[in-house]
Structure 1
């Protein structure tokens, strides 16, 4: 069954089992107490959970799809991967989905997988566990086509053992699963933005939109999740601090449920293997039903001109 399914479905089905395993690794490392924190740059941390989760995901997927390009946030590693970190089974429900005609014949050479093994690292180190996500984005050509997002600590305050966490997915032309999409409340504007990477330009963009409420949270995945669950209307980040592995999966899932994600000039990001990693134009994402153009029109030119 697995080998006869279209490549896109097989990639998503395998990514779901890989992120679930990575989520357990992240929880195990936290419970052991030694996070192995390394400072990669200013306000840019890496932990043993980042490194281990990426080794789990990249090894698991590359063994099944050796001809598909995989780009991970933490770079390449020659470390040996424990055998129980390598998962090669697939989610059977995804394999049974009906694939859109335009995705039926996608070839390995057209695909790039973007991996953020632990989105929200700073929050992870501070115990803000509901901000943490594991992201696998699947691009075909230039476009984000499918995404898998795992929240290893979903319901962590009440869940017990393996009941903790959840996995969301979205595929262009099919829809999404693992959560219940909701529209944000009418009659007000709630905007989510960075918790730890703000500056005068970021604040100027927010001020121009005159939100009724601003949710400052960690992780691009978590912010987009707020849009899909109806907790915010827009995600605005007027900075080049985000990268392709931060947005590929969230964009694919958000678009699959009717939302939008572009840079602050209104351009969609390119996700082919030769594209720059930096999201130099900032990030503007809007929930289903929101007028994306309104946000673009109301962002100050002075703000947009600071972003390439």
Structure 2
């Protein structure tokens, strides 16, 4: 008797194909998760601590930035800022602090610390244990995050540092130039910025991105590499305008703006946000705090851009809270060429 062959009906063939596609999907998704874990140098449990799903931390970061934004907006609208000075910046300007900074910091830091007690949190304003609020995450991940990042991405709590800026552009905030104001959260793993959230309280706009995960913001389609528009600090400019003109020519368009978060958003596609400037390159040549820049760095990294020191060095988000090497941010440009061009002018 001839051996019997296996025959599948059309329904059986369809089921078999669907099963095969399902296996391929899970393999592909697993490879994406492995790729991010490899990029971060993180091995499950290798450095101790509780394993944290970075999707959860992203969801809390978004909620924290938006909660802080509610406080910032309410204080500004009450006109009871209780403004005072924390001292002087290196350029000699007053470093201001307001009630908005403090209340936003309390909400943002409390939420993150209560939700992830094993994670290191660095924030611009100090938070005493007595000041912490009893708020925590409801363990819900927003649909837009779940749609873009469908599988857990794990990192040890010991490898994570969260950087909080409860009110970026405080100087402009006191002048009621609220378009520049943002609240920001960044998550760094082994010092590498991988999650960034920038929230604009007065337009209710929130941008977020995760390296090798997803984002709710896009890069623009066109950047002017030949005659770039340069965005620089409004209140801490130092010599940056002179350096910029020497580097790119006297006809270069320079935009002055407040807040690092605002300046990073100027490099991206902020659809529907009419009061947002646009620029091709963001330059800062003096000392800057890491909570000012970490979120923007993560977002640019996630979208294929760059934020480095003026010498092209990656900024590490551990240790001291300041970056001494200046700042060069771009996307859609030849970043190495920008570094080389600036280097010749800064050293001369």
1:22 and 2:68 matched: yes
TM-score where L is the length of structure 2: 0.76
The unaligned stretches of length 5 or more in structure 2 are 1-50, 89-93, 271-277
Distance in 1, Cα, partners of 2:268 & 2:285: 21
Do 2:243 and 2:345's aligned partners in 1 also have CA atoms closer than 8 Å?
A: no
Distance in 1, Cα, partners of 2:52 & 2:299: 19
1:152 and 2:201 matched: yes
Cα deviations by residue, 1:100-149 (Å, 9 ceiling, x for unpaired): 8xx83311110000000001101111111110111100000020011111
Q: How does 1:1-308 map to 2 (within 5 A)?
A: 7-42=53-88, 43-81=94-132, 86-89=135-138, 90-93=140-143, 94-95=145-146, 97-98=148-149, 104-154=153-203, 165-177=204-216, 179-186=217-224, 188-200=227-239, 202-207=240-245, 208-210=247-249, 212-229=252-269, 231-240=278-287, 242-272=288-318, 275-287=319-331, 289-301=332-344, 303=346
Using the TM superposition, give the Cα deviation of residue 302 of structure 1 relative to its aligned residue in structure 2, in angstroms.
5.8
Which secondary structure state, in structure 1, belongs to the residue aligned with residue 219 of structure 2?
A: coil
- Look up the match of 1:157: none
Distance in 1, Cα, partners of 2:336 & 2:223: 19
Output the aligned Cα RMSD: 2.1
TM-score where L is the length of structure 1: 0.85
Distance in 2, Cα, partners of 1:80 & 1:73: 15
Do 2:283 and 2:327's aligned partners in 1 also have CA atoms closer than 8 Å?
A: yes
Cα pair distance change 1:79/1:255, threshold 3 Å: same
Do 1:205 and 1:300's aligned partners in 2 also have CA atoms closer than 8 Å?
A: no
Do 1:266 and 1:296's aligned partners in 2 also have CA atoms closer than 8 Å?
A: yes
Distance in 2, Cα, partners of 1:193 & 1:16: 26
Distance in 2, Cα, partners of 1:69 & 1:195: 31
Cα deviations by residue, 1:217-274 (Å, 9 ceiling, x for unpaired): 001110000001282110011111x1110111110011111210000010011012xx
The unaligned stretches of length 5 or more in structure 1 are 155-164
Do 1:24 and 1:152's aligned partners in 2 also have CA atoms closer than 8 Å?
A: yes
Using the TM superposition, give the Cα deviation of residue 303 of structure 1 relative to its aligned residue in structure 2, in angstroms.
2.1
Using the TM superposition, give the Cα deviation of residue 189 of structure 1 relative to its aligned residue in structure 2, in angstroms.
1.0
Cα pair distance change 1:213/1:145, threshold 3 Å: same
Which secondary structure state, in structure 2, belongs to the residue aligned with residue 112 of structure 1?
A: strand
Using the TM superposition, give the Cα deviation of residue 185 of structure 1 relative to its aligned residue in structure 2, in angstroms.
4.3
Distance in 1, Cα, partners of 2:195 & 2:61: 10
Do 1:192 and 1:234's aligned partners in 2 also have CA atoms closer than 8 Å?
A: yes
- The number of aligned residues is 281
Which secondary structure state, in structure 2, belongs to the residue aligned with residue 67 of structure 1?
A: coil
Which secondary structure state, in structure 2, belongs to the residue aligned with residue 299 of structure 1?
A: helix
Distance in 2, Cα, partners of 1:66 & 1:221: 26
Cα pair distance change 1:111/1:82, threshold 3 Å: closer
Cα pair distance change 1:80/1:198, threshold 3 Å: closer
Distance in 2, Cα, partners of 1:304 & 1:58: 40
Of stretches 130-139 and 73-82 in structure 1, the one that deviates more from structure 2 is: 73-82
Do 1:15 and 1:136's aligned partners in 2 also have CA atoms closer than 8 Å?
A: yes
